[in-house]
Structure 1
Amino acid sequence: MHPAGVFILLAGAFLPIMDFFITNVALPSINSSLHASASSLELVIAGYGVAYATLLVLGGRLGDRYGRRRIFLGALVGFVLASLACGVSPSVGALIAARIVQGATAALLIPQVLATFHHALEGERKARAVALYGATSGIAAVVGQLVGGLLVSADIAGTSWRPIFLVNVPIGVVVLIVAARIVPDTRSHHPVGIDLPGTVLFAATLTALLVPLTEGHSLGWPWWTWLMLAVAVVLGVATYVVEKRTERRGEVPLLPPSLLRLPSMSRGLAMVFVFSIGFGAFMFVFALTVQNGLHVDALHSGLAILPMALLFFAGSLVAPRLITRYGRAALSSGAVVQLAGIVSLVAVLLGNWPHVSLWAMAVPLALVGAGQSMLFAGLFRSVLADVPTHMAGIGSGVLITLQQSGLALGVATLGTLYLALAPHNVAHAFAGVEYVQMGIVALLAVGAAALPRFDKATPAATPVVDA
């Protein structure tokens, strides 16, 4: 593969990952422009995440079967068009619908990147490309809010929040033109079948769970929200039963029960899931706290997260070596550092509210970013520790699916808690959410001891959606 092909593929991966988080700092502007309810704003975030999570494995399998470059280019076209639809949306309903389509196309696009690296590169070039992907995916999550703040504050031609989506159009077109020329076309010689029933049931389960959680509070919890939660439980059980039967027939389901029973998967996925709930919620409520509570503009709201972004990036570079050397202790240490950052951040906000300087939050946020980078790298590595080599791609798909589901659920649950408390006191609302996250991080610090042992023979987990 042409050396520039690596960076073109990384650019294609950066946009969808960034787009999950770039919207956070634009929520007040979207609210002002489209007169959106609080629950609708949550759906702007969570709708993208649900579509992304439920179709991710399907995207990988389509690339295996029909060619990864073809799916990458087609998905990129869809992502650009969906971004354009987001940018010109006349109502919040249209924006939510466009965001769901955007998340679906992102789910088809992302798996092709790592799978292409896996099949088109060898040795040191492959290792370097995968390492760059890890750094890209981590930093894109945090940088999204910084870029979002810059674009919203620029208010280009009076368009307010719309450039955060429209910027994807020219960048996507450039990536599309170059990728069509230099990205090689690869496919699996033994493609795994597409588990349509499992995909539909899993998507229905997430939808039935997240819709009432996001809409329930603002509507006063009508009867249908409780009915949907009950249906979500039924659908979840049905998903497990169908997936188990699919595996017994010798087919490969979306979420293979045999993989989920492996110690590394069962323990590691649970930790990845709760970590993602906390991460998604933190990014959502921090942006709203800074803008709505401290009345900071979108630019400074984005800049406020910069210390976290820088330490997350730096931590991502050194985490693999520290994890190889110190094993599970490195994960526990990362959790302790993150916990210290959250505690000090809450203390700064409560102690100085409403006259909180963004500089006063810099060190706590830096600690949060450093700790998160260690957990992010270590948990991804641990999940695949016991997975057979021939199932690594499928295991990685399950991992990323649960990660994205956790991000969306964090916004729907802890985000709803924040929105319920914020009208009374914004600082205490933020603290209330962070008290829950403190418990999550404390559990992660202790739970790291239950993960499989790390050793130098265990490669860093690289989510490659390919069998």
Structure 2
Amino acid sequence: MTNSTIAAGQAWHTPRSMARAGGLHGIGVYVLLAGAFLPIADFFIVNVALPTIATSLQATPAALELVVSVYGVAYAAMLVLGGRLGDRFGRHSLFLVGLSGFILASLACGLAPTIDLLIAARLVQGAMAAMLVPQVLATFQATLEGERKTRAIALYGATSGIAAVVGQLAGGLLVSANLFGTSWRPIFLINIPLGVMVFFASRAVVPANRSPHPAGIDVAGTILFAATLTALLVPLTEGHSLGWPAWTWTMLAAAVLLAVATVTVERAAEARGEMPLLPPSLLKLPSMSRGLAMITLFSVGFGAFMFVFALTVQNGLGANPLESGLAILPMAAMFFIGSVVSPRIIGRFGRGALAAGGLLQALGLVTLIAITVSSWPTVSLIEFAVPLVVIGAGQSMLFSGLFRAVLADVPKHLAGVGSGVLITLQQSGLALGVATLGTLYLTLEPASISHAFGTVIACQFVIVVMLVLCTGLLPRFNKDQVDAQPVEM
């Protein structure tokens, strides 16, 4: 039974019967999205809990940055490998393995008695997330066609953004609830029941699928890429708090050399007819080369924004974790609404809709800076609501469009590789945003929290303006890439 036949007759098939026949029912789409939601949300859920974790585990500011960024480093470094393993051994099988490991690592995070053990558990949690998440997009690419695939990918982009802001909101709710006196620990322990539900649901409704032509495992490329990310992000995260000792500069220099070595090894592997971890020919596709650069820049600004916003409203305005989480709610609500309507708008206006979304986000950022500068330190969190709504609307349009632009030209048999590369650079951007702009914030914070916040938001404004100027470089959207009509999943 072909995918098109299954799609045409899905109304007469149960999710389980469609999965057995190799198809993916709409319910299966949402189950996979729920699986992807947990690891994405976990990058951000700790932000509002950082002051509480610092008090509970006597953690330094640099250690708190590591709690966030080490997850991102492991996640980014292993994502392409996760996609490759799914292509070879079965995407649903790797989804279940990654989800199981993520649940166990979440348990270890929730029970960690020291900051060092929490950081170690976050490292494992990020690696397991990298086994899970690439299978979602790859399964959509391999089992869906036409409008259903377009819609599923759009929903994935929406899920990625919504998970970020909902994660921060949920973190505030759970920390403030202080369930049974457990303080911040439920932000990780909540993954256990949710993960178990997704595990058993996916076994019932997600089909087994793998690439008919799986690529080999690029051991050298994987090690070099992971080493490059580590050598770059660790000194950027730790350097300021330690006074930039010699080893931080040595690691940064090593990162440059490792990056050159990675490119050289990957080119040589492809020249031999092998499929490297980051295929140069795939990265040369217009949608990939331009879209990936833009999604990385977007993620740098987004990751930094979520990190510094949580610290500013708690350390600067005296908000508790619950108030900090609720403060981001206007952006979350508008991001969700914008993600639902963005396929129709992008379908009608194409790249212009992405540029308009970027301009809208830039307007919200400028307004946020103006409110902070003019009203500090008596600014009310309610005053942030309007600019956050505008920011969320603009982000949803830009983010959804970039996600689909990147994958537009990826061949189906490279679905796992393409998806892994996309999420790798997205996650690398998030971690880089925390390591760079987050460090800039922590450097300026002792002198003036409002100045530190305004400076980082101004940096994000510059990034957004650059993205607006670059939207014209993206390939034009056609009807196969973006459908303007609502699609029943």
**TM-score relative to the length of structure 1:** 0.94
Bigger mean CA offset, 376-385 vs 118-127: 118-127
Corresponding residue for residue 316 of structure 2: 293
Is 2:102 the counterpart of 1:100?
no
Q: Give the whole-Å Cα distance in 2 for the aligned partners of 1:451 and 1:22.
A: 32
**For the residues of structure 2 that align with 1:451 and 1:119, how far apart are their CA atoms?**
24
Note closer, same or farther for the CA distance 1:120–1:170 as it changes in structure 2 (3 Å cut). same
Deviations 1:390-427 (A, max 9, x none): 54543332221111100000000000000010111111
Match of 1:453 among 476, 480, 485: 476
Q: Where does residue 68 of structure 1 map in the other structure?
A: 91
Q: Does 1:165 align with 2:188?
A: yes
- What residue number does 1:26 align with? 49
* CA–CA separation in structure 1 for the residues paired with 2:403 and 2:50: 30
Match 2:230 to one of 207, 210, 225? 207
What is the Cα deviation at residue 379 of structure 1?
A: 1.6
Instruction: Give, in whole Å, the separation in 2 of the partners of 1:177 and 1:387.
Output: 31
Shift of 1:259: 2.4
Correspondence for 1:438: 461
Compute the TM-score of the two structures, normalised by the length of structure 2: 0.90
In structure 2, what is the equivalent of residue 370 of structure 1? Answer: 393
Which residue matches 1:277?
300
Shift of 1:135: 2.5
**Cα shift at 1:145:** 0.4
Worse-matched range after superposition: 266-275 or 342-351:
266-275
Deviation by residue 1:261-300 (Cα, 9 ceiling, x = unmatched): 3333222222111111000000000000011110100101
- 2:282 — aligned with what? 259
1:320-378, CA deviations, whole angstroms, 9 ceiling, x for partnerless residues?
Answer: 22222212221111111001100101111111111111111000001111111111012
| Equivalence for 2:378 | 355
Cα distance in 2, alignment partners of residues 155 and 183 from structure 1: 36
Question: Which of 382, 402, 406 is the equivalent residue of 2:429?
Answer: 406
Give the distance between the partners of 1:37 and 1:76, measured in 2 at CA.
31
CA distance in 2, matches of 1:116, 1:392: 8
How do residues 385-400 of structure 1 correspond to structure 2 at under 5 angstroms?
Answer: 385-388=408-411, 390-400=413-423
How many angstroms apart in 2 are the aligned matches of 1:21 and 1:189? 36
Q: Which whole-Å CA distance do the structure 2 matches of 1:350 and 1:69 have between them?
A: 50
| Aligned residue number for residue 465 of structure 1 | none
Describe the shift of the 1:124–1:271 C-alpha distance in structure 2 as closer, same or farther (beyond 3 A). closer
Change (3 A) 1:236 1:15: same
- Residue from 433, 436, 442 that aligns with 1:419: 442
1:48-127 paired onto structure 2 within 5 Å: 48-121=71-144, 126-127=149-150
Amino acid aligned to 2:402: L
The answer for the alignment partner of 1:428 in structure 2 is 451
Gap change, CA 1:171 and 1:242, over 3 Å in 2: same
Alpha carbons of 1:183 and 1:390: their partners in 2 closer, same or farther (altered >3 Å)? closer
Alpha-carbon shift at residue 130 of structure 1 (Å): 3.8
Deviation, 1:175, is: 2.2
2:261 is aligned with 1:238: yes
Match of 1:464 in 2: none
Q: Which moved more, 1:261-270 or 1:432-441?
A: 261-270
Q: What SS does structure 2 have at the residue aligned with 1:18?
A: helix
* Long gaps (5+) in structure 1: 461-467
Question: Is 1:321 the counterpart of 2:344 in the alignment?
Answer: yes
CA separation of 1:113 and 1:29: change in aligned 2, threshold 3 A: same
Residue 183 of structure 2 aligns with an amino acid whose one-letter code is: S
Q: Which residue of 2 aligns with 1:8?
A: 31
CA 446–432 in structure 1, closer or farther in 2 if over 3 Å, else same: same
Sort the Cα spacing of 1:134 and 1:105 in 2 relative to 1 into closer, same or farther, 3 A: same
Cα deviations by residue, 1:120-176 (Å, 9 ceiling, x for unpaired): 455665555444333322211111101110000001111111000011112212222
Counterpart-to-counterpart distance in 2, 1:254 and 1:414: 29
Pair 1:222 & 2:242 matched: no
CA distance in structure 2 between the aligned counterparts of 1:269 and 1:128, rounded to whole angstroms: 20
Distance 1:38 1:14 in 2: 27
Out of 324, 341, 365, the position equivalent to 1:342 is 365
Structure 1 residue matching 2:94: 3-state secondary structure? helix
Note closer, same or farther for the CA distance 1:353–1:439 as it changes in structure 2 (3 Å cut): same
Residue in structure 1 matched with residue 218 of structure 2 by the alignment: 195
C-alpha distance in 1 between matches for 2:425 and 2:386? 30
One-letter amino acid of the structure 1 residue matched with residue 236 of structure 2: L
2:331 pairs with 1:308: yes
3-state SS in 2 of match to 1:105: helix
Query: 1:313 corresponds to which letter in structure 2?
Result: F
2:128 maps to amino acid = T
Alignment partner, residue 61 of structure 2: 38
8 Å CA contact 2:347–2:482 kept in 1: the answer is no
- Which whole-Å CA distance do the structure 1 matches of 2:402 and 2:150 have between them? 19
Instruction: Kindly provide the CA deviation profile for residues 45-69 of structure 1, in whole angstroms up to 9, marking residues without a partner as x.
Output: 1111111111112112212222223
Give the alignment of 1:175-190 within 5 angstroms: 175-190=198-213
- Secondary structure of 1:380 counterpart: helix
* Matched residue type, 1:81: L
Q: State the secondary structure of the residue aligned to 1:184.
A: coil
One-letter identity of the residue aligned with 1:31 = A
361-370 vs 57-66, greater mean Cα deviation: 57-66
Corresponding position of 2:5: none
Give the secondary structure class of the aligned counterpart of 2:372.
helix
Cα deviation, residue 228, structure 1:
0.4
Q: Distance in 2 between matches of 1:133 and 1:84?
A: 26
Would you say the 8 A contact 2:74–2:126 is kept in 1? Answer: yes
Question: Which range moved further: 390-399 or 367-376?
Answer: 390-399
| Aligned-pair CA distance for 1:224 | 0.6
Look up the SS of the partner of 1:419 in the other structure: helix
Higher mean alpha-carbon deviation, 157-166 vs 113-122, is at: 113-122
Partner Cα separation in structure 2 for residue 32 and residue 228 of structure 1: 30
| Corresponding residue for residue 463 of structure 1 | none
